[in-house]
Amino acid sequence: MTLRDRRDIRIAVIGGGVGAVSLLDSLLETFADARQHQRRELSIYEPDPSRLAHGLAFAPDLDSAIVNLPNQRMTIRDRDCTHFLRWLNTRPEHSPGAGGDSPATSFATRQVFGSYLDEQFDRCLKSAADQGWQVRIHHETVLSVSDGADGGYVLHTSESAREHTHAVLAIGPGSPADPFDLVDAPGFLESPYPLKTVLPQVDPKDHVVILGTGLTAIDVALGLLYLGHQGPLTMTSRHGILPQISSGIALYEMQYLTAPRIREYARGSKGLYLADLWNLFKGELTAAGFDADAELSWLLPESSPMDHLRHQLRNPDANPVRSLFQNVPNELKEVIRSLLVPQEQEKIRTDYRTHLKSLQCPMPSTTARTLLSAMESGQLSIVPGVTGVRLEGSRFHVTAQTEVPPGDTVIDATKTSPAESKGAPGKLMSALTRDGYASWDYYGGLRVSRRTNQLHDPTGPGTAAGRTRGLYAMGELTSGSIYYASSLPAVNEGADIVAAAIALDQEFTSWS
């Protein structure tokens, strides 16, 4: 009799961060009424006890580190947006933060959100016990996976090998990229986290060069300003693009950016081109009553980050480009990606990914105001076109589009794609690729089924259940074709998909 035949269910979650909490919550709801399993086991593998439940993102840290979505959208439940807000409203000891005109529209500190996650994790553990699940937490790194004797998977760590019926990869985003190979240079800080430990190491008068202009780079700039830094700050990246400011998302009835229209363009030109998409987007903006050229001009390379911040702060409720972009469903993004001709796919990967991320991964307006005032005072500069940073003597020389004075400290705020991760996630990803469980899409994401988040079987769509049946991924690992999958809404959606897929797989097994 096999593991599956016995109707045992032994789920392993690889990674015990935020995604694991969301997945536990979804699994408990999905399996609440399913009593047929004789043995229910949930194993969570998380090597770093200090990351359990809140991950790195929501660990105790400086109060300058705030969530990037308003409280009313921060939640572990895709189906319940205001779950965190309701929790917050019953916890007067936690401040709802600033930036909005009510707790719902404000932005709490990330450590407050971390307290919520810790509490949700404890609640899930208790509910799991009530539902008859045996929960085990292993503070071990999963190094590789192999086929189990009973149709499941064996997870190998340096200490053990345990068999499970299902395994879910929830190992988070990539790792610090160190694009200029500065790891051994004195004055180079390879990761800014935890901010409260790393940033006080910086001399307050130093010229600090921050590699990156995304949310991590902003965390660094805000953290240093919060600690009273007096020296100049330079944020530098290839494109110099800041995240857009968080705004309400208006709903549009899409008339131009639709699958039939896109297919029609692709048929006519034997493949889809970015210029076609640009025109469709323009048509959509015009149809919605906006000056399309003016709105899209902010995305052009010559646009000034400072002016763009001012523009967005002056028009807090109207960001039609972001709204429209958020209206494009994931399935349509996949259609677009599959129809783009190869050279255009390459442009997305190398040139436009940052633009897409800046739309998908916004910053709160309070953050934007702090950045703008540091820019207006001359303390903070955003420099695009960085191609090199090297140590000469005791100072760092930056080669970029404009001249940058030598830096005293360099802080890496860049990240690899999940495919190129280093450390624990990297070792596991290499082993999965080597052993034929994982394959990667063109954009650096793990190939998964969008319907179930099950890993694609790299040996091809087999006739049988396939080599990867019961092996799932969620979070940034699945980002490839949709470009960014690490934000909470995407993580929560992944958790629901995986929980439903496991339930379906189990049901199928029970009857087969």
Ligand X SMILES: Cc1cc2nc3c(=O)[nH]c(=O)nc-3n(C[C@H](O)[C@H](O)[C@H](O)COP(=O)(O)OP(=O)(O)OC[C@H]3O[C@@H](n4cnc5c(N)ncnc54)[C@H](O)[C@@H]3O)c2cc1C
Interface residues toward ligand X, by CB under 6 A: 14-19, 45-48, 51, 55-57, 67-69, 110, 141-142, 170-173, 193, 219, 424-425, 428, 475-476, 486-488, 491
Which lies closer to ligand X via its Cβ, residue 221 or residue 257? 221
Which lies closer to ligand X via its Cβ, residue 232 or residue 243? 243
Which lies closer to ligand X via its Cβ, residue 414 or residue 487? 487
The rounded distance, in Å, linking the Cα atoms of 397 and 337 is 38
Which lies closer to ligand X via its Cβ, residue 385 or residue 489? 489
Which lies closer to ligand X via its Cβ, residue 172 or residue 305? 172
Could you tell me which residues come within 8 angstroms of residue 409 by beta carbon, excluding any fewer than 6 positions away? 187, 188, 189, 202, 203, 206, 207, 208, 209, 396
Check if the beta carbon of residue 232 is closer than 8 Å to that of residue 377.
no
Could you tell me which residues come within 8 angstroms of residue 194 by beta carbon, excluding any fewer than 6 positions away? 59, 60, 61
**Least separation in angstroms between CB 316 and ligand X:** 19
**Least separation in angstroms between CB 422 and ligand X:** 11
Indicate the burial class of 393 (C-beta count within 10 angstroms; 0-12, 13-18, 19 or more): exposed
Check if the beta carbon of residue 216 is closer than 8 Å to that of residue 330.
no
Q: What is the CA radius of gyration of the chain?
A: 23
Neighbour tally for 430: CB within 10 Å: 15
CA angle at 34 for the pair 29 and 40, rounded to the nearest 5° = 85
**Least separation in angstroms between CB 54 and ligand X:** 7
**Least separation in angstroms between CB 192 and ligand X:** 8
Check if the beta carbon of residue 37 is closer than 8 Å to that of residue 7.
yes
Which lies closer to ligand X via its Cβ, residue 235 or residue 280? 235
Which lies closer to ligand X via its Cβ, residue 68 or residue 106? 68
**Least separation in angstroms between CB 140 and ligand X:** 7
**Least separation in angstroms between CB 165 and ligand X:** 18
**Least separation in angstroms between CB 425 and ligand X:** 4
Which lies closer to ligand X via its Cβ, residue 218 or residue 335? 218
DSSP secondary structure string for all residues of 78-126: TT-TTHHHHHHHT-TTS---BSSSSTTTSB-BHHHHHHHHHHHHHHHHH
Residue type at position 385: G
Which lies closer to ligand X via its Cβ, residue 118 or residue 347? 118
**Least separation in angstroms between CB 438 and ligand X:** 13
Check if the beta carbon of residue 25 is closer than 8 Å to that of residue 58.
no
Q: What distance, in Å, lies between the first and last C-alpha atoms of the chain?
A: 13
Strands 380-383 and 233-236 come out as parallel
Indicate the burial class of 205 (C-beta count within 10 angstroms; 0-12, 13-18, 19 or more): exposed
Q: How far is CA 364 from CA 98, 109, 237, 248, in A?
A: 10, 12, 21, 11
Check if the beta carbon of residue 56 is closer than 8 Å to that of residue 193.
yes
**Least separation in angstroms between CB 164 and ligand X:** 13
**Least separation in angstroms between CB 332 and ligand X:** 22
Which lies closer to ligand X via its Cβ, residue 28 or residue 488? 488
Instruction: Give the SS3 label for residue 303.
Output: coil
Q: How far is CA 334 from CA 326, 337, 339, 482, 488, in A?
A: 14, 5, 9, 7, 20
Residue nearest to ligand X (CB): 17
Q: In terms of DSSP H, where are the helices of 315-473?
A: 320-327, 330-339, 342-347, 353-360, 365-376, 423-434
Which lies closer to ligand X via its Cβ, residue 17 or residue 444? 17
Which lies closer to ligand X via its Cβ, residue 73 or residue 337? 73
Across the beta sheet with 166-169, what order do the strands follow?
Answer: 133-138, 40-45, 9-14, 166-169, 471-473
**Least separation in angstroms between CB 112 and ligand X:** 11
**Least separation in angstroms between CB 88 and ligand X:** 14
Q: What are the two backbone dihedrals, phi and then psi, of residue 263, each rounded to the nearest 5 degrees?
A: -65, -35
The kind and range of the H/E element at 275 are helix 274-287
